[in-house]
């Protein structure tokens, strides 16, 4: 009887500790989420604040002390080329993603599958290209852009950005391809496929998480890159969001903070939405690629 009472007491103690542990975990998770979401929430609230509400130091930045207004959103769309900037960013990003996949996937496959003594060092050398600071390549790349007559054109970004995205994409896909057994392709070739056919019909579907990681990485880097976009493009109608928004909403010493925050929110929401759709595949692609790289 005593033994049973002690056992029940221990069981209740373990259940209590487990319950408190889960409550503590949820509290920490909610706190971390609030801290991470804080800047975004502040940006959304700031977007609709009036000037006198924003610039009074005694006002709480996380509440509307004055009546909200949509005037700053109107300024963003009607007094700047935000819609054109977004369109330029979208089509440049899609082209860069397509070029990155078209070049990095075959390169990664050849380095991961073809047994050559130089494959490993070449893969490392390709990755080191990404580590070169953009400022060191600026002059040489600008001469190439001018020689091709692409200055002040978004095509200059389509030409330049793959030099940033391809090295990391190749390294990532090499690591992911190394997680796949060679038997899969060999069986496909025994069934009558060529090596190219085995790559397209068998390997590519299996490396879908790595491809998603490459797509997300390439597009987000293209959308956020600033140095080359500022250096190679001057006309307002050819700018991307990363340069067009700040150059038109920062006029001398006047900062249109609410409109800047509106642009930030409008760009962040669709990217975050798409990112969360492919979150599991994205994490799988990066972790598996990193482990076996």
201-237 pLDDT tens trace? 778 888 887 888 888 888 888 888 888 898 889 888 8
Cα 285 to Cα 99, 149, 173, 274: the distances in Å are 19, 38, 8, 16
Strand segments (E) across 77-187: none
Reported pTM? 0.78
Q: What are the extents of the domains in the chain? A: 2-69, 79-292
Q: Which of 112-116, 147-151, 179-183, 202-206 has the highest mean pLDDT?
A: 147-151
Q: Provide CATH code, domain 79-292.
A: 1.10.3720.10
The Cβ of residue 124 has, within 10 Å, a number of other Cβ atoms equal to 12
33-42, pLDDT tens digit by residue? 888 888 888 8
Residue 73 predicted with pLDDT over 70 = yes
Question: Once rounded to an integer, what is the mean pLDDT over residues 265-283?
Answer: 75
- What residues contact 72, with CB distance under 8 A and at least 6 apart? 47, 48, 256, 258, 259, 261, 262
Question: Once rounded to an integer, what is the mean pLDDT over residues 104-117?
Answer: 81
Give the chain's length. 293
The Cβ of residue 129 has, within 10 Å, a number of other Cβ atoms equal to 15
Model confidence at 290, pLDDT cuts 50, 70, 90, reads: very low
pLDDT of residue 162: 92
Residue with tokens 């579907």: 205
Residue 96 predicted with pLDDT over 80 = yes
Please give the Cα distance from 183 to 133 (Å, whole number). 40
């Amino acid at each position: 009887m005593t033994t049973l009472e002690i056992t029940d007491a221990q069981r209740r103690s373990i259940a209590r500790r487990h319950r408190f542990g889960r409550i503590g975990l949820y509290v920490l998770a909610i706190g971390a989420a609030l801290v991470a979401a804080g800047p975004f929430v502040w940006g959304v609230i700031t977007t609709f604040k009036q000037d006198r509400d924003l610039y009074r130091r005694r006002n709480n930045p996380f509440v509307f002390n004055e009546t909200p207004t949509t005037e700053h959103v109107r300024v963003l769309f009607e007094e700047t080329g935000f819609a054109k900037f977004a369109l330029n960013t979208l089509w440049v990003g899609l082209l860069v993603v397509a070029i990155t996949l078209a070049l990095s996937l075959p390169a990664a496959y050849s380095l991961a599958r073809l047994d050559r003594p130089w494959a490993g060092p070449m893969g490392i050398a390709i990755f080191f290209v990404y580590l070169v600071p953009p400022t060191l390549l600026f002059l040489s790349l600008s001469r190439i852009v001018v020689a091709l007559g692409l200055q002040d054109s978004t095509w200059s970004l389509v030409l330049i950005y793959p030099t940033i995205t391809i090295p990391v994409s190749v390294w990532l896909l090499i690591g992911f391809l190394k997680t796949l057994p060679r038997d899969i392709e060999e069986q496909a070739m025994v069934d009558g496929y060529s090596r190219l056919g085995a790559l397209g019909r068998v390997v590519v579907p299996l490396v879908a998480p790595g491809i998603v990681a490459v797509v997300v990485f390439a597009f987000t880097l293209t959308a956020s890159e600033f140095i080359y976009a500022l250096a190679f493009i001057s006309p307002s109608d050819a700018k991307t969001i990363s340069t067009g928004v700040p150059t038109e909403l920062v006029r001398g010493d006047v900062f249109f903070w609410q409109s800047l925050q509106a642009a930030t929110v409008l760009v962040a929401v669709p990217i975050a939405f798409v990112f969360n759709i492919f979150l599991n595949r994205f994490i799988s692609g990066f972790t598996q690629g990193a482990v076996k790289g």
